[in-house]
Structure 1
């Protein structure tokens, strides 16, 4: 399989540049363990004080929830879009039997950190793990290069969700499958984006984009993917995330509004699965 050479460099939005460059979001105590996601808290007791171990466990559980849905995985090639520090890619390689794992990220500083954090794995298994620069909307890979593709809590940063969907359809082989996990507007109500900007600073400053589930589903279908399945997992995300935030942020401060937006119906957390049909 030859690598596609025509991928065009994409500008990094300023808020994304700051958060994942000088801001080094993954080093913040909100996250921990090198993961950068809100966590999948099912099975964690939220009625007691939460520990850093609980937080890291919740983030690893998000990866396991998504990767488990891609089974079978043994001996296959997988791409993570928006790999960040590469800790989740290492989980994919170490626990799911993939023959090869590729992590793609647009931010050069994140990829540099991923190389440092995963230096031992890269040294021991260089033929099985790599980190590649590139945009979700214009991936530098050959057609049909991957058997599986996943993206965890990165799509809210993609500026062109339609282009991302087209690239997913292109780089997956026939019969290949995709699983996207992240927070989206659950319906097509045009007022949702303004409301999220009122509630949440990350939507107001441009770090996050208020993509809708109907648009994502339609984009995947227009890209030729089939069997699109949408599942809300908000009940396993938002209460735990808010419980963790409660140790750092007062009620009424903007990060605590994620749970409020969920209760209002303006935002939810979903997994979205699809497959490329066999010709």
Structure 2
């Protein structure tokens, strides 16, 4: 068994360091409830003024959707890669019947906030929830330590998908399942990266990376993962996200271009699942 311990030596990209450190995206009104994702808006009426409750519900629904693709039941151990403030890890533990959830994040300030935000849950269920520092490309865990692994809206920050895929395959037990949910370039269009940088400041500034779905699928398969399945959920993400943005951002401002990029076919939101072969 390969055991890794200690703080990761993998560098935090500067844009990620700023966004999740001093800038603290979680404190922005665009998010809420301790989550940082665009939301899964299926079932929410977008024809009426949206509320803070709607926004939080959409983010909870994203986690429920992702966890549903894993169908975790019984005494399973789960790892969330890029856990942020740990709100999703709390949903996973309290709603999915998991025996133990580890939230991992590369950013020490996020982990500090996660500990504070989940202090009561940690005190009530100390043997079932923990937060650990580590990088997606360098996970501080033993081989086969987890039954399932998921990551929600963090993969767009990963600099090395191959390393992430190898680590995912390593820390999953045989028969373990992984789910990746985030926004990616649907095809292999070489011009998409430049166009996204024109439209969206997060790509231009290096916070987000224009990874493609073919690239992600290829890395998972090269790492030895099997039964890789890709599902677009953009229909349930982008219109709702844009409707929420409209509360504070005018048409033509760069955050409203996420929906534009989706309509141009250069960006979409996906859930991608895979399994480590064996039983």
Counterpart residue number, 2:244:
244
Residue 80 of structure 1 aligns to a residue whose secondary structure is: strand
Distance in 2 of aligned mates of 1:97 and 1:108? 28
The correspondence of residues 254-273 of structure 1 with structure 2, limited to 5 A, is 254-273=254-273
Aligned partners of 2:200 and 2:120: how far apart in 1?
38
Contact 1:227 1:275 in 2 (8 A): yes
Q: Is the contact made by 2:8 and 2:133 (CA closer than 8 Å) also made in structure 1? A: no
- Cα deviation for residue 129 of structure 1 reads 0.2
1:72 deviates by 3.4
| TM-score, scaled to structure 1 | 0.98
How far has the Cα of 1:69 moved from its partner?
1.4
Give 4+ residue runs of structure 1 displaced > 6 Å after superposition.
none
Quick check: 1:216 aligned with 2:206? no
Gaps of 5+ in 1: none
After superposition, what is the alpha-carbon deviation per residue over 1:155-189, rounded to whole angstroms, capped at 9, x for unaligned?
Answer: 00001011000100000000000010000000111
d(CA) in 2 for partners of 1:163, 1:85: 24
Distance 2:30 2:71 in 1: 30
| 1:5 counterpart residue number | 5
- CA distance in structure 1 between the aligned counterparts of 2:93 and 2:256, rounded to whole angstroms: 34
User: Match of 2:170?
Assistant: 170
Q: How far apart, in 2, do the equivalents of 1:71 and 1:5 lie?
A: 29
- Determine helix, strand or coil for the equivalent of 1:53: helix
Partner of 1:105: 105
Q: In structure 2, the residue corresponding to 1:147 is in which secondary structure? A: strand
Could you say what the CA RMSD is over the residues aligned between the two structures, in angstroms? 1.2
Gaps of 5+ in 2: none
| 2:72 is equivalent to residue 72 of structure 1 | yes
- Pairing of 1:16-31 with structure 2 (within 5 A): 16-31=16-31
Distance 1:157 1:5 in 2: 23
Structure 2 residue aligned with 1:45: 45
1:193 pairs with 2:193: yes
User: Are 1:7 and 1:138, in contact at CA under 8 Å, matched by a contact in 2?
Assistant: no
TM value normalised by structure 2: 0.98
